[in-house]
Structure 1
């Protein structure tokens, strides 16, 4: 498996182009099963999660090819609505295939999805949504069998604005008979991107980015060419890399409106940031200030996927800051790893109290999940000495060759084969 070694104390300088968003690409790839044909999905990063999704599509009968940043998919030969157990157990986002497979074939068999161990991540909202559309669901010990002779539009309310449930219901409803209304829908940019992709296919969806999404069902869907939006979480991670090293970094290929919550926090701390439509430039200020309280929450709130990276940044800021995690109940595992490096972090239930101003020291640590791994790389960039990060397969689920990206702007970082 190997590890990543990061030598700290080097300022980062230069420009970085951000790749397409994993969390937008995965549901879009799943949505290609809604209509047979040849798709071209552009700016898709090379990530282990993307590879798993393409392996699943191949197992279902599709033909796939990932060349450079483009994915070609032919779903004309898709014949199997049964997602393989071994592949589904590798990735949480495999659940995205439930809605589109059910809509196209009238049947789907799924197993418990895998992914990062960051807390309880039930799929009950997915199931309730599909049941509202008329699906019959039978739950067995280790798999779920969904059937529907024809999905029917419905007016439904999500108990929580779940991104995955919103997207799964959207995809299923594109081929349902009549109108579907999703109330208390998630508002993340990746949902708007999925709407834009589906509408290009011929779907009739409006409201993505608001709490109410309306879908008019249709059978007139076709394969299309589409470009995925930039990854706001990768952009935020690289932005913090510039801050942590007191460097001068310009991030290219971003949507400025997707970065507002992070930029607002950093400016409160005294970080100097310049923004244009598709670029953002950071140069860390010399007198940084702590933040009284940051709470994670659904978009447009502060993203839980940036919580670990922000925590690392706050360890370098003199004073006490507090982060309250409201999305996942088990997402502070990185705190123990950061404490190995000398960080002063106190955890009480869903709150982390960060006493900043202590210089971190290189150590042997492990990536407990995807974003925790990115946070440890940030810590390594800013610490004294060398940091060795184990379990790097988590990092490769969401960052396309992060070591190469950081080396291109001056980081001393490499992979050590295991």
Structure 2
């Protein structure tokens, strides 16, 4: 299996460009199923999750072409309504095809989704949302089966804020008859990006940026061109990488307002942050940073997808802090791997209590999920000796050119394959 070998690298410096957001691109791709035409999505990163969604769309009858950073999707021949297990099991975002298939074809059969290995993330809200639009939905043999005539507009209130269920409901409701009102909807930037795409296709969605969305159903939609927003999680990961190495870097092609929760915490920790229209600079070299506690929450609060990276930062600083996870209470499978590197962390329910240890030691560790893998690489940049991160297929799902971008900033990281074999790494400490 392939792995990353990470060397202690000193302060990161320089400038990199941030890629398009994986979490925005995937629902944008699914939404192209709603029309019969050739859609274009710009600023698309080369990621395994994007490739998986492309394969799923091809299975449903679409023609998908990904060149450079542009995706073209010809959905005119999409007549298949079954999303099979061998594709859907690779990532949870595959469930995004449920709403579009039901709205366009009147039926959908989607295998229960897979993806990161932590935590039960039930599809109940997706099912209830479709049922509120007069769809018949049931689970059988690990598949979600849904059918309907033309969907009917309705009022629906999300019991918890859900980005995925909000996106699925939006895509289903735009072709429903009548008016749909969504309450307690997610307001993540990725949802706004999807709303922009749907409206460009001829939908009538109102209330962007608020927790109440109103959709006036239309008869048909047409193909459109949309650009994916910058990846705020990738950007946040590199900002934390600069902080953990006491570096000074600039991120280009980024949206600063999407990262306010993180940059406010970095400023509180002692880093200097400055923002341009499409750039963010961080300087963490002036003085040792302070360990600052965080609590995750729905946007605009601190993102759960930055929790492992922030945990890595405070684990490397002097002082005590807490990280409280309110989105996925058991999203702490990375803690045992952090401990292997010398981190001092005690887990109590959904709260990780950290006593910082700047003297970390390299070890062999495993990425339990996408963001945990990134966090382990950040720790490897400052740990004494070498750190070898295994199960890096998780990272391929969500980070475009990670070794190259870190190398641009002065980091030292190698991708190792099955061949040639390498010498065993001495475990330090």
Runs of 4+ aligned residues of structure 1 deviating over 2 Å after TM superposition are: none
- 3-state SS of the aligned residue for 2:73? strand
Partner Cα distance (2:254, 2:359) in 1: 31
Structure 1 distance, partners of 2:340, 2:363, is: 7
- Answering whether residue 75 of structure 2 is matched by residue 59 of structure 1, we say no
Does structure 1 conserve the Cα–Cα contact (< 8 Å) formed by 2:315 and 2:354?
yes
CA shift for structure 1 position 11? 2.1
RMSD: 1.0
What is the CA distance between 1:385 and its match in structure 2? 1.4
Contact 2:342–2:357 (Cα < 8 Å) also in 1: no
| Structure 2 counterpart of 1:259 | 259
Residue of structure 2 in register with 1:76 after alignment: 76
Distance 1:382 1:199 in 2: 46
CA distance in 2, matches of 1:247, 1:289: 15
Give the structure 2 partner of residue 91 of structure 1.
91
**Contact persistence 1:10–1:412 (CA under 8 A):** no
Is the Cα contact below 8 Å between 2:315 and 2:343 reproduced in 1?
yes
CA contact (8 A) 1:9 1:383 kept: no
SS in 2 for 1:405: helix
Q: Is the 8 A contact 2:297 2:303 kept in 1?
A: yes
What is the CA deviation profile of residues 368-418 of structure 1, one whole-angstrom value per residue up to 9, with x for unaligned ones?
000000000111112111110000000111101211111122111110002
Aligned to 2:26: 26
How far apart are residue 309 of structure 1 and its match? 0.2
* CA–CA separation in structure 1 for the residues paired with 2:142 and 2:269: 48
Secondary structure, in 3 states, of the residue corresponding to 1:333? coil
Residue of structure 2 in register with 1:101 after alignment: 101
CA distance in 2, matches of 1:262, 1:19: 18
Distance 1:168 1:310 in 2: 30
| Structure 1 residue 10: Cα displacement | 2.4
Q: Structure 2: which 5+ runs fail to align?
A: 419-429
Counterpart position of 2:3: 3
Q: Secondary structure at the match of 2:82?
A: coil
Cα distance in 2 for partners of 1:155, 1:288 equals 48
User: 5+ residue gaps in structure 1?
Assistant: none
For 1:226-375, list aligned pairs within 5 A: 226-284=226-284, 285-291=286-292, 293-375=293-375
Asked if the contact 1:92/1:113 (under 8 Å) is kept, the reply is: yes
Q: Following superposition of structure 1 onto structure 2, how do residues 185-224 of structure 1 map, counting pairs within 5 Å?
A: 185-224=185-224
- The question of whether the paired residues in 2 share the 8 Å contact of 1:256 and 1:275 is answered with yes
- Range with bigger deviation, 309-318 or 194-203: 309-318
How far the C-alpha of 1:359 sits from its partner, in A, is 1.8
* Separation in structure 1 between the aligned mates of residue 354 and residue 217 of structure 2, nearest angstrom: 49
1:86-165 equivalences in 2 (<5 Å): 86-165=86-165
State the partner residue of 2:400.
Answer: 400
Distance in structure 2 (CA, Å) of the matches to 1:275 and 1:318 = 28
TM-score, reference length from structure 1: 0.98
Displacement of 1:108 after TM fit?
0.3
Instruction: Check the 8 A contact 1:118/1:329 in 2, yes or no.
Output: no
Cα distance in structure 1, aligned partners of 2:52 and 2:177: 32
Q: Which moved more, 1:161-170 or 1:272-281?
A: 272-281
CA deviation string 1:105-126 (max 9, x = no partner): 0000011100102211000000
Give the whole-Å Cα distance in 2 for the aligned partners of 1:121 and 1:89. Answer: 14
Which whole-Å CA distance do the structure 1 matches of 2:387 and 2:208 have between them?
42
Distance in 2 (CA, whole Å) between partners of 1:290 and 1:413 is 26
User: How far did residue 357 of structure 1 move?
Assistant: 3.6
Indicate the SS of the match to 1:394.
helix
Residue 178 in 1 paired to residue 178 in 2? yes
> Which string of whole-angstrom CA distances, capped at 9 and with x for unpartnered residues, describes residues 137-179 of structure 1?
1221321210011101001111001100000000000000011
Distance in 2 separating the partners of 1:402 and 1:288: 25
Deviating more after overlay: 14-23 vs 218-227: 218-227
| Cα pair 1:9 1:384 within 8 Å, conserved | no
Q: TM-score, normalised by structure 2?
A: 0.96
Q: Name the CA distance, whole Å, in 2 between partners of 1:318 and 1:83.
A: 49
Number of residue pairs aligned between Structure 1 and Structure 2: 417
Please report how far the alpha carbon of residue 48 of structure 1 lies from its aligned counterpart in structure 2 after TM superposition.
0.7
